[in-house]
Amino acid sequence: MTVPDKVAIESWFKELQDQICASISALDGTPFMEDAWTRQEGGGGRSRILAGGAMLAKAGVNFSAVYGKTPEKILQALKLEQSDFYATGISIVMHPVNPWCPIIHMNTRYFQMSNGIAWFGGGIDLTPHYIIPEQAAFFHSQIKKVCDQHHPAYYNEFKRWADEYFYISHRQETRGIGGIFFDHLKGDKDLSMLQTFEFVKDVGASFAPIYTHLLKENHSKPYGENEQAWQMLRRGRYVEFNLVYDKGTKFGLDTNGRTESILMSLPPIAHWEYNKKVEEGSMEMFTLNHLKKEINWIS
């Protein structure tokens, strides 16, 4: 059996959503609210949002499983004939209150077509407002550990992919310190589809321990107006990335997806300041100087 059971994948993603919401909610002390929605053409999802929490200003954990005729945009991109599709995944973005806590994003997805083509994709990346080298090392080590358990080449390959993907070209900056990004894992190389599913599960399962650790480390650090102003500008960059470059966002908006679920990734508040200057030697400058591709965060 080369293609895993989509029912098993879907229920695992749902369970992951439950687990992550439970961990985050317990730490923050604030419940997620849920919106269940259906898609006219087939399927639906459940969007879960936590807003105005003690540690999290806005956190979204979305699950969806949709199916029907494959959207034209996908067929064109893949040069395929019309066929039905099924797609399921979870998508997470969390914007913390404290500027010393990083923004985090994770997505895992499975896509299958009636012609037999199927793949997994996903990624996890961290966007600290202030880059703290030890925490960057911690984040990348954790991700590398997950990758290494499945394939010796995955971390390097998918880390490079994240550096390319999470790049704000008009700012010549990476969005944050990257992480991993992968797509179209079809079980046709080293790992079978079932093994790939195990990899995706482990990436998903790493989210809650990694992010609760980072929140605990930082959420009670003192901060003032300067740090908050910087956080607001960095959130502005996050908006720029998501609306200008992010493929998931573009695809969702183009194909008539549920706008409120797609745009839950945007921060509650963001600022833009014309030609903001950053002082030499400041933490802000240190961060800007490290928003680069190809940094080895672990060593």
Contact 113, 227 (CB under 8 A): no
Q: Quick one: which of 4, 60, 102, 187 contacts its own copies (CB under 8 A)?
A: 60
CA quadruple 20, 40, 112, 193: dihedral, nearest 10: 20
Q: Is residue 27 within 8 Å of residue 238, measured between CB atoms? A: no
At its nearest, how many Å lie between its own copies and the CB of residue 240? 6
State yes or no: residue 74 binds its own copies (CB under 8 A). Answer: no
266 touches its own copies by CB under 8 A: yes
Looking only at residues 219 through 248 of this chain, which bind its own copies when binding is defined by CB under 8 A? 232, 236, 239-240, 243-244
Minimal distance in Å, beta carbon 274 to its own copies?
5
242-260: burial string, b at 16+ Cβ within 10 Å, e else: beebbebbeebeeeebbee
By C-alpha distance, which of 136, 167, 105, 181 is closest to 292? 167
Query: Which of 105, 129, 140, 219 is labelled catalytic?
Result: 105
Q: By rule CB under 8 A, what string of x and - marks binding of each residue 2-41 to its own copies?
A: ---------------------------------x------
Which of these segments, 81-89, 104-112, 132-140, 272-280, binds its own copies (CB under 8 A)?
272-280
Q: Helix (H, G, I), strand (E, B), or coil: what is residue 225?
A: helix
Residue of 76, 169, 296, 299 that binds its own copies (CB under 8 A): 169
Nearest-approach distance from CB 162 to its own copies, in angstroms: 21
Q: What is the DSSP letter of 245?
A: I
Closer by beta carbon to its own copies, 193 or else 262: 262
Separation between Cα atoms, residue 36 and residue 126, nearest integer Å? 28
- Number of Cβ atoms within 10 Å of the Cβ of 213: 14
| Cα dihedral 10, 40, 46, 88 sign | positive
Q: Which is nearer to its own copies, 35 or 157 (CB)?
A: 35
Q: Which of 3, 51, 75, 205 binds its own copies (CB under 8 A)?
A: 51
For residues 267 and 94, give the distance between their C-alpha atoms in angstroms, rounded to a whole number: 8
CA angle (260 as vertex; 46, 239 as ends), nearest 5: 120
10 vs 173 by CB, closer to its own copies: 173
Q: From 74-82, 101-109, 140-148, 263-271, give the range in contact with its own copies by CB under 8 A.
A: 263-271
Using the minimum distance from each CB to its own copies, give the nearer residue, 18 or 240: 240
Q: Considering CB under 8 A, how many residues would be counted as binding its own copies?
A: 31
Say whether 105 is catalytic: yes
Report the candidate in 233, 255, 228, 261 with the shortest Cα–Cα distance to residue 171. 233
117 in contact with its own copies (CB under 8 A): no
Region of 179 please: left (phi>0), alpha (psi -120 to 50) or beta: left
Question: Residue from 3, 49, 74, 117 that binds its own copies (CB under 8 A)?
Answer: 49
Q: Which is nearer to its own copies, 84 or 260 (CB)?
A: 260
CA end-to-end span of the chain, whole Å?
Answer: 40
Residues 6+ apart with CB under 8 A from 210: 104, 124, 139, 142, 143
Considering only 115, 259, 282, 289, the residue that binds its own copies (CB under 8 A) is 259
In the complex, which residues of this chain contact its own copies (CB under 8 A)? Answer: 35, 49, 51, 58, 60, 169-171, 232, 236, 239-240, 243-244, 250, 253, 259-260, 262-264, 266-275
Give catalytic residues, as residue numbers. 105
